Homo-oligomer: A and B are copies of this chain.
Amino acid sequence: MENRLEQQFAFIKEIDKEKFIQRQTHLSDGKRRENDAEHAWHMAIMTLLLSEYSNEELDVLRTVSMLLIHDIVEIDAGDTYAYDEEGKKTQREREEKAAQRIYGLLPKEQGRKMLELWEEFERWETKEAKFAHTMDNIQPAMLNAGNDGNDWVTHGVHLSQILGRNERTAEGSQVLWEYSRDHFIRPQVEKGHIVDDCSEKNPSASSAED
């Protein structure tokens, strides 16, 4: 058991580094950027509160666990910004390698379980993975809207990019996608903080569920 505990704490100490992985999104004070650990914590609580809106009934613990661990690979692979097309080309390979190393610190069967949970998130097939991705798309949209679209303005983000990223958001929760679209995205298009490159002025015109 001593050896098992050593392996578990080696992993637990290692993941402290996730707190240093900066995302592009700024926090509600508009000053500091969010890190991966804070992002995961926020989405885990969101899942506790919002799972009632899932299209299908969820295993909440599985979804929360998935969200808590889904960005651990970024300790080695770094954060790839949602609209960084170059970075996204090598993302899968970098993250796969990171997963092998980091989950490999754990006792074998526990590491495999965690790896499978991460792969489930990545495959985006189960209802838990779909809902986790819904959270992963809605949480930064909420923060960006809270900063009056400042991150979108800084990166010159276009509506087509946001709708592209959100193409599957409704698969986890139709209700929450619509809420995000109407409350976080659309007002920022209307203010000109998101470049409206879609033929219709209304983001719902080419949204995920249409």
- Cβ-based interface call for A83 (8 A): no
- The answer to whether A19 touches B34 (Cβ under 8 A) is yes
- Cβ-based interface call for A42 (8 A): yes
Q: Which residues of chain B are within 8 angstroms of A185 by Cβ–Cβ distance?
A: none
Chain A 28-72 interface mask (CB, 8 Å, partner B; 1/0): 110000110110111011101110010000001100110011000
Q: Which residues of chain B are within 8 angstroms of A143 by Cβ–Cβ distance?
A: 16
* Known contacts A12-B45, A13-B146, A38-B38; 14 further A-B pairs (Cβ under 8 A): A5-B179, A9-B183, A12-B42, A13-B28, A15-B45, A16-B28, A16-B42, A16-B143, A35-B38, A37-B41, A37-B42, A48-B68, A60-B61, A61-B61
The distance in angstroms between the C-alpha atoms of A17 and B5, with both chains bound, is: 34
- The answer to whether A15 touches B1 (Cβ under 8 A) is no
The distance in angstroms between the C-alpha atoms of A65 and B60, with both chains bound, is: 10
- The answer to whether B9 touches A142 (Cβ under 8 A) is yes
Please state the number of chain copies in the assembly. Answer: 2
- Cβ-based interface call for A161 (8 A): no
Q: Which residues of chain B are within 8 angstroms of A15 by Cβ–Cβ distance?
A: 42, 45
Q: Which residues of chain B are within 8 angstroms of A49 by Cβ–Cβ distance?
A: 8, 11-12, 106, 110
A178 to chain B, nearest CB (A): 10
- Cβ-based interface call for A81 (8 A): no
- Cβ-based interface call for A198 (8 A): no
- Cβ-based interface call for A82 (8 A): no
Least CB separation from A46: chain B residue: B12
- The answer to whether A27 touches B16 (Cβ under 8 A) is yes
The distance in angstroms between the C-alpha atoms of A28 and B41, with both chains bound, is: 19
- Cβ-based interface call for A205 (8 A): no
- The answer to whether B68 touches A41 (Cβ under 8 A) is yes
